[in-house]
Amino acid sequence: MSAILPPSERLWWKQPIAGQEWAWIGIAFVWAMIMFVMMVYWHINGKQNLSNEVYKTTTEMFQAKTDAFVKENTIRTETDQQIPVVKPNDKGEAFLLARLWSWYPILELEAGKTYKIHLSAVDYNHGFSLQPTNINIQVIPGYEHVVKMTPTKAGTYAIVCNEYCGIGHHTMLGRIYVK
Amino acid sequence: MATTYRTCPRTGLQFDLDADKLMRWNAVAGVLWLLVGGITALLVILTRWPAIKLLPADQFYLILTAHGIDMLILWIIFFEMAVLYFASSTLLRCRLATPWLGWVQFWLMVVGGIMTNIAIFQGGSSVMFTSYVPMQAAPHFYLGIILFAVGALIGTAVFFGTLVVAKRDKTYVGSLPLVTFGAMTAAIIAVFTIASGAAILIPTFFWSMGWIKEIDAQLYRMVWWALGHSSQQINVAAHVSIWYLVAAVAFGAKPLSEKVSRFAFLLYILFLQLASAHHLLSDPGMSAEWKVLNTSYFMYFAVLASMIHGFTVPGAIEAAQRKKGFNNGLFEWLRKAPWGNPVFSGMFISLVGFGFIGGISGVVLGTEQINMLMHNTFYVPGHFHATVVVGTTLAFMSITYLLVPTLFKREMLFPKLCQIQPYLYGISMTVLSLVMMGAGTLGVSRRHWDMAFSGAPFQYEWPGSAYLMMGLTGIFGVIAVIGGGLWIGLVVLSLLFGKKLDGGATSDKPTPIPDQSAAASASHTGSQDHVGVPGTVVLAVTLLVCFVLYYFVNWKYLSEVWGLS
């Protein structure tokens, strides 16, 4: 019962380490370094990195920017709630606002084109979960996150809210069209 | 002040009767919270099982909040207090420092736990375990957690005090036993964790009282997770210590190398607290550099530590078994292990499940870019049910089969059921973790009442395989609840009705640890009768192969989603 007794050798730190242990420590260390380098490598050569472009904002400011974006670029409305479908202009700037309990507005994008999507929430934390492609980004009130996205395939995508935001959380479903 | 000791006639362990009582009360309080957590678990599962969908949305979120708090905080930390007192006072064979402070610890944690639960069950605090601002809970929700945390902090102080007492009274010679060293690691991480918790929950409490106007939502997440994730690192240090403890008790196993195992614990202290970053990888507020450095626990040094323990724990068992003559082939030592002893079987399932499922999924989930595939999906609870439940809870359950006769002086009832329980619980929970991760990989959200989105302006239909995974989650979740309930039933019935055992002779003087006892002076690395551990090498390499394959498969998945920059 020795792991529950003091080390039998007083100078345990002077005991040699067996070859098998050294080998495993070495392998594990190399693997750790590979995993570390992999993240850095992906920043240089990968095509899926989360943007670092972030601004502090306020509810009013972000609401106003989104409203201006919607007013300028709406191409039609959908559903009984008259949700605007907005096609960003040639500069590719788009706003997507998360609130209790909707994603506003609906975006219409083109495959292969790169957009700067400004994400923020105006009340609680929300979760941007793009399905079925499965991209998940946290959306936090007070922070305007400018994410560059390049849709790859045409289709109708859903934005599920995947950060718990109260009783209507499950009804918070948004939409992105990719033409 | 007179301290009385008894020496357990079966194990030779010596208990300070004050510590003895504190351990028992803390363990029992933990088990009662596990019961509450288990009932809420069942309700959560039956609601997320699409074919059943038991609770309405408001009750579901309330119950889910209670499940998180009662399991992750109350059950585990109460039990950990017992572990700390055991690893200090009992293993070092000394008196517990300031037992009255121990009772302050206990009652503060009881009061805090009940207060938070009252807040939750009143209905106004369904904010989840994480309680992200600006969603607000009732003030006593936060206050309860604060009181509980103060209690836990006092518990760690009693632990450190006891280490000092043992040193001063010279109850042991040389260095701390490895298990005590591991428990000390847990206690040090606990102090950091609780300090972080205080730094965020006290202002949040003030905010809920209206004394502070606003708390930054991103800042909250960062500091809160220094509590939330680091507290899980206390669990890692605690259950790894229990693995070593079980290896020692069940096999007389000696660490392969004191130096390696202690160094691995030291790496935990140095790097585990960076884990707050794991929850912020898809957040706006931190830079990519910050995320890469912190999520990797500074270049994966804490992962390295876990990989070392994952080698040295089974390695110690293998070495001990080989010395007993189980030398045939690679795995005779493992085949001939006491699989019918729940102390061992639970510990070994905990080790394998934590390493293969919890560990690998955790590192993949905690990779900066890959996190975007899984953040806030059902993958996340899948991962931590493999770490905190298969890893920590099952380790605590297995050690309890030892503690009931030793500490509570009762024989376990229904030994056959005791034998089955770790398998039933461990395997169902492992499968549950896997199917939860499967559902998460398909995108299914965590903390979500209705995957059919009833009442939404649009429709989105999850793939059929996602419904299949959620159905399997339901089935294996229910089996796991049965396995956990069985453990609670066995323990409670044994405590009440099990055959009373002799507590051993009492004395008002402690007997110190004998210097260089026969058991302690077993062979060490480099000595003549040192044995190799080829079976463990094979196990470790298998782990690595699974790890590498799964890691790169996920990079492949990532490369297929929309371009992001």
B451: DSSP letter: T
All residues of chain A having their beta carbon less than 8 Å from the beta carbon of residue B280 are 138
Residue A5 domain flag: no
Residue A4 domain flag: no
Residue A155 domain flag: yes
Specify whether A28 is located in the same domain as A59.
no
CB contact under 8 A, B520 and A5: yes
Q: Is B170 exposed, middle or buried (0-12, 13-18, 19+ CB in 10 A)?
A: exposed
Strand bridging mode A173-178 / A106-109: parallel
Contact of A46 with chain B, judged by CB distance below 8 Å, is answered with yes
d(CA A96, CA B140) in angstroms, rounded, equals 36
pLDDT reading at A11 higher than 90: no
Q: State the smallest CA–CA distance between residue B43 and chain A in angstroms.
A: 17
Total count of domains within chain A: 2
Contact of B76 with chain A, judged by CB distance below 8 Å, is answered with no
d(CA B203, CA B143) in angstroms, rounded, equals 11
Pairs across A and B, CB distance < 8 A: 333
Residue A133 domain flag: yes
d(CA A10, CA A8) in angstroms, rounded, equals 6
Q: State the smallest CA–CA distance between residue A100 and chain B in angstroms.
A: 12
At A17-73, the pLDDT tens digits run: 899 999 999 999 999 999 999 999 999 999 999 999 999 999 999 999 999 999 999
Specify whether A113 is located in the same domain as A38.
no
Whichever domain contains A169, its CATH number is: 2.60.40.420
All residues of chain A having their beta carbon less than 8 Å from the beta carbon of residue B548 are 31
d(CA B42, CA B38) in angstroms, rounded, equals 6
Residue A175's closest chain B neighbor by CA?
B458
**Residue A145 pLDDT:** 97
Nearest residue, CB atoms, A32 vs list B284, B300, B460: B300
pLDDT reading at A1 higher than 50: no
CB within 8 A of A150, min separation 6: which ones?
A47, A112, A113, A114, A115, B562, B563, B564, B565
All residues of chain A having their beta carbon less than 8 Å from the beta carbon of residue B178 are 3-4, 7
Nearest residue, CB atoms, A142 vs list B58, B216, B460: B216
Specify whether A32 is located in the same domain as A65.
no
Beta strands across the sheet bearing B506-507: B14-16, B5-7, B506-507
Residue A153's closest chain B neighbor by CA?
B562
CB contact under 8 A, B562 and A13: no
Q: Return the residue matching tokens 């930390």.
A: B77
CB contact under 8 A, B373 and A152: no
CA-to-CA separations, B270 to A5, B273, B497, B553, in angstroms, rounded: 25, 8, 45, 30
Cβ atoms B227, B145 nearer than 8 A: no
Specify whether A141 is located in the same domain as A86.
yes
**Residue B527 pLDDT:** 52
CB contact under 8 A, B304 and A29: yes
**Residue B530 pLDDT:** 74
Specify whether A115 is located in the same domain as A32.
no
B415-441 vs B464-497: helix crossing angle, rounded to 10: 160
Segments of chain B scoring below 50 in pLDDT = 517-526
Specify whether A110 is located in the same domain as A165.
yes
Residue A8 domain flag: no
Cβ atoms B460, A158 nearer than 8 A: yes
Residue A150's CB is within 10 A of a number of other CB atoms, namely 18
CB within 8 A of B77, min separation 6: which ones?
B30, B109, B148, B152, B231, B234
Domain ranges, residue A81: 54-178
- Pure H helices in A46-165: 59-73
Cβ under 8 Å to A: B residues 323-362: none
CB contact under 8 A, A1 and B519: yes
Cβ under 8 Å to A: B residues 379-438: none
**Residue B246 pLDDT:** 95
Q: State the smallest CA–CA distance between residue A174 and chain B in angstroms.
A: 7
At A77-94, the pLDDT tens digits run: 998 889 999 999 999 999
Nearest residue, CB atoms, B443 vs list A51, A134, A174: A134
d(CA B365, CA B277) in angstroms, rounded, equals 12
d(CA A48, CA B372) in angstroms, rounded, equals 9
Cβ atoms A96, A118 nearer than 8 A: yes
b (16+ CB within 10 A) / e for A20-33 = bbeebbeebbebbe
| Percent above pLDDT 90 for chain A | 88
- Pure H helices in B49-98: 57-68, 76-85
User: What does chain A come to in residues?
Assistant: 179
Nearest residue, CB atoms, B248 vs list A1, A119, A123: A1
All residues of chain B having their beta carbon less than 8 Å from the beta carbon of residue A132 are 443, 463
Strand bridging mode A135-139 / A106-109: unpaired
**Residue B275 pLDDT:** 82
Q: What residue type is assigned to position B288 of the chain?
A: A
B76-85 vs B17-48: helix crossing angle, rounded to 10: 160
Specify whether A20 is located in the same domain as A82.
no
DSSP string of B216-257, one letter each residue = -HHHHHHHHHHHHHHHHHHHHHHHHHHHHHHHHHHH----S-
CB contact under 8 A, A21 and B315: yes
Specify whether A31 is located in the same domain as A85.
no
Specify whether A116 is located in the same domain as A35.
no
Residue B315's closest chain A neighbor by CA?
A21
Rounded to an integer, what is the distance from CA B289 to the centroid of its chain? Answer: 30
**Residue B297 pLDDT:** 84
Contact of A83 with chain B, judged by CB distance below 8 Å, is answered with yes
CB within 8 A of A130, min separation 6: which ones?
A136, A157, A158, A159, A176, B562
Residue B526's closest chain A neighbor by CA?
A16
Strand bridging mode A143-150 / A115-121: antiparallel
Specify whether A79 is located in the same domain as A154.
yes
Query: Token digits for B14?
Result: 């010596």
d(CA A88, CA A69) in angstroms, rounded, equals 8
Residue A1 domain flag: no
CB contact under 8 A, A137 and B463: no
Specify whether A41 is located in the same domain as A97.
no
Query: Token digits for B473?
Result: 């989650």
Residue A95 domain flag: yes
Specify whether A33 is located in the same domain as A90.
no
CB within 8 A of B527, min separation 6: which ones?
none
Strand bridging mode A74-78 / A83-86: antiparallel
Contact of A100 with chain B, judged by CB distance below 8 Å, is answered with no
User: What does chain B come to in residues?
Assistant: 565
Contact of A122 with chain B, judged by CB distance below 8 Å, is answered with no
Nearest residue, CB atoms, A6 vs list B177, B247, B287: B177
Q: What is the largest CA-CA distance in chain A?
A: 80
Residue A76 domain flag: yes
**Residue B523 pLDDT:** 42
**Residue B511 pLDDT:** 83
Query: Token digits for B239?
Result: 């259950």
At B280-301, the pLDDT tens digits run: 999 999 999 999 998 888 879 9
Contact of B442 with chain A, judged by CB distance below 8 Å, is answered with yes
